[in-house]
């Protein structure tokens, strides 16, 4: 026997319909690529998204066709997502920070038919266009006045493109399992892999994101989306914010400390989130100006583990609640948020900060377990580490173009590639990516934990730990660090700082200072690059 509820499919365009209907005048603020701040609202986003849909249909775009976007986080980009998904086509956000060869690869792999791009990427795409045979038209996300000269095929200014149609268009219902978005991994090893989100998975994950212990957006919030929309489906924020009726602030291309601080202060932002390196710049700018984030209530820090010093700077200096966030493109993308529960309220001091530095606990619809190398399930004791695996309705079961279920183990779990321990309350603590663990004399050293200790030093801006080859111990940890501006901190200073904080056999064999560290297209430390540079660093010293 089936229930007698209405057949109301979970579709992405229902989100913006709801936002326009219930919160139509709620502001959407974005910094345009041209520079000025643009203010619109959900009603206008909805109306323009309908125009996008109608224009795509006029251009013979059909359900299932892939439409690429190479754009910063702006209101134009947002309305394109809804307009594309609304007709059953698939929006494919391309990360502009990928190598040009990777950009060509994923556009060709997806067989995108149209590419919508910001003016800042015209020159890049012109250099690639001869190798993009499936692209039939290029739509430049600007108006006629700012339209650059270009040789791109059938190029047209976005405002002219949607001006050729009106908003007299109706989005229809279809199966919620229809694909809506194609997101590619950053490709740190091998070519990027495609993750094909369904309408159902996006709506479910966005609903889960709005629960109080996760992002918890509400209609009184002002949300600054610092994480680019092309990173893991924008952490669901392009859907969870309008779903809740929260005001949405989009920073465009300018993610420097000064520009973000301006938005945080001027727009009275209450919630924001992004990778740790972004917030280092914001804190430095605010400190220089002597300004405090009086409106900001919560900040979500993900992509890489949040250093203790960064967390304490926000909590103690600005009175902001810091929640660590963990997720992956393959996980829809939100996997866990570190919010407090009754069993943790008695924690104080270092014990509380230790908890807040964990990756948190999963929402409903994400099921975790850890396994050792032999596949034995590990206990939730906070100590027993193993391969972190997950399953749920918003988690990938196969990469784009591969056989259904091919990304899962025999029990239906996806291996995240992380090593983690889970405590009795379900909080996940990542000890490392499986490929980044340092194996020294048969024992494992967590590069994440060691990095966090090094970055607690007040004169260290950023640090990465890799395993360098060693003739006796197999591998030994080496720290590659960036000093804060004006600092002259030495190797001996950091070694002394670490003494007593970590086990003696965890002490790094060397500390190398560099001007900057390499990052992936999503802002994470690019450790494969560092390993290729420094994996023989100790061998050379010991045998030289």
**pLDDT, tens only, 368-398:** 999 998 999 999 999 999 999 999 999 999 9
Q: Do domains 12-212 and 438-543 have the same CATH topology?
A: no
Q: For 349, left (φ over 0), alpha (ψ -120 to 50), or beta?
A: left
Residue 44 three-state SS:
helix
Q: What angle do CA 323, 345, 305 make, to 5 degrees?
A: 25
Residue 202: which of 414, 15, 46, 7 has the closest Cα?
A: 15
With 0.75 as the threshold, say if the pTM is over it.
yes
Tokens found for residue 76? 């134009």
Segment 1-47, tens digit of pLDDT: 999 999 999 999 999 999 999 999 999 999 999 989 999 999 999 99
Residue 120: which of 99, 97, 91 has the closest Cα?
A: 97
Question: Please, are residues 19 and 46 in contact by the beta-carbon 8 Å criterion?
Answer: yes
Fold assignment, 438-543:
GMP Synthetase; Chain A, domain 3 (3.30.300)
Active site amino acids? 185, 330, 439, 444
Going by pLDDT thresholds of 50, 70 and 90, the confidence category of residue 125 is very high
Q: For domain 12-212, say whether CATH 1.10.240.10 is its number.
A: no
Segment 452-494, tens digit of pLDDT: 889 889 999 999 998 888 887 878 999 999 999 889 999 999 9
Q: Could you write out the DSSP letters of every residue in 234-265?
A: GGGHHHHHHHHT-EEEE-BT--SHHHHHHHHH
What is the residue extent of each domain of the chain?
A: 12-212, 438-543
Q: For 43, left (φ over 0), alpha (ψ -120 to 50), or beta?
A: alpha
Q: How many helices (H) and strands (E) does the chain have?
A: 16, 24
Tokens found for residue 336? 């866990």
Question: Please, are residues 334 and 363 in contact by the beta-carbon 8 Å criterion?
Answer: yes
Q: What angle do CA 371, 374, 377 make, to 5 degrees?
A: 30
Residues with Cβ within 8 Å of 372's Cβ and at least 6 positions away in sequence, in order, are 378, 386, 387
Sign of CA dihedral 307, 313, 314, 315: positive
């Amino acid at each position: 026997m089936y229930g007698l509820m209405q057949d109301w499919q979970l579709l992405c365009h229902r989100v913006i319909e709801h936002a326009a209907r219930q919160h139509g005048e709620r502001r959407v603020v974005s910094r345009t690529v041209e520079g000025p701040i643009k203010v619109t609202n959900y009603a206008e986003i909805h109306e323009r998204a309908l125009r996008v849909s109608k224009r795509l249909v006029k251009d013979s775009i059909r359900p299932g066709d892939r439409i690429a976007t190479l754009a910063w986080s702006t209101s134009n980009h947002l309305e394109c997502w809804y307009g594309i998904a609304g007709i059953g086509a698939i929006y494919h956000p391309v990360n502009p920070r990928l190598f040009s060869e990777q950009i060509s690869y994923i556009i060709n792999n997806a067989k995108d038919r149209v590419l919508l791009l910001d003016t800042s990427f015209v020159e890049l795409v012109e250099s690639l266009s001869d190798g993009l045979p499936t692209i039939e038209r290029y739509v430049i996300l600007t108006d006629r006045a700012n339209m650059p000269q270009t040789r791109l095929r059938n190029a047209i200014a976005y405002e002219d493109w949607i001006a050729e149609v009106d908003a007299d268009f109706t989005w229809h219902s279809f199966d919620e399992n229809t694909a809506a978005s194609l997101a590619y991994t950053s490709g740190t090893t091998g070519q990027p892999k495609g993750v094909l989100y369904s309408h159902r998975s996006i709506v479910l994950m966005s609903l889960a994101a709005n629960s109080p212990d996760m992002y918890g957006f509400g209609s009184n919030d002002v949300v600054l989306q610092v994480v680019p929309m092309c990173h893991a489906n924008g952490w669901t924020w392009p859907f969870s914010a309008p779903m809740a009726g929260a005001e949405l602030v989009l920073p465009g291309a300018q993610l420097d400390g000064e520009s973000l601080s301006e938005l945080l202060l001027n727009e009275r932002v209450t919630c924001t989130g992004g990778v740790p390196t972004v917030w280092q710049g914001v804190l430095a700018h605010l400190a220089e100006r002597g300004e405090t984030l009086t409106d900001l209530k919560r900040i979500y820090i993900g992509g890489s583990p949040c250093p203790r010093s960064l967390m304490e700077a926000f909590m103690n200096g600005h009175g902001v609640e810091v929640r660590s966030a963990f997720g992956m493109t393959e996980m829809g993308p939100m996997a866990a948020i570190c919010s407090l529960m009754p069993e943790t309220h008695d924690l104080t001091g270092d014990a509380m900060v230790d908890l807040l530095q964990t990756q948190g606990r999963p929402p409903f619809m994400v099921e975790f377990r850890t396994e050792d190398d032999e596949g034995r399930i590990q206990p939730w004791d906070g100590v027993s580490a193993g391969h972190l695996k997950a399953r749920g309705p918003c988690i990938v079961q196969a990469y784009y173009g591969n056989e259904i279920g091919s990304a899962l183990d025999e029990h239906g779990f996806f291996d995240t590639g992380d090593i983690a321990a889970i405590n009795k309350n379900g909080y996940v603590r990542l000890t490392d990516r499986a490929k980044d663990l340092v194996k020294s004399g048969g024992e494992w050293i967590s590069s994440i934990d060691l990095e966090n200790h090094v970055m607690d030093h007040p004169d260290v801006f950023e640090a990465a730990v890799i395993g360098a080859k060693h003739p006796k111990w197999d591998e030994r940890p080496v720290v590659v660090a960036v000093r804060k501006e004006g600092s002259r901190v030495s190797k001996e200073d950091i070694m002394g700082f670490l003494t007593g904080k970590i086990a003696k056999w965890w002490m790094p064999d060397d500390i190398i200072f560099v001007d900057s560290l390499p990052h992936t297209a999503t802002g994470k430390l690019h450790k494969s690059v560092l390993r290729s540079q420094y994996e023989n660093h100790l061998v050379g010293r010991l045998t030289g």
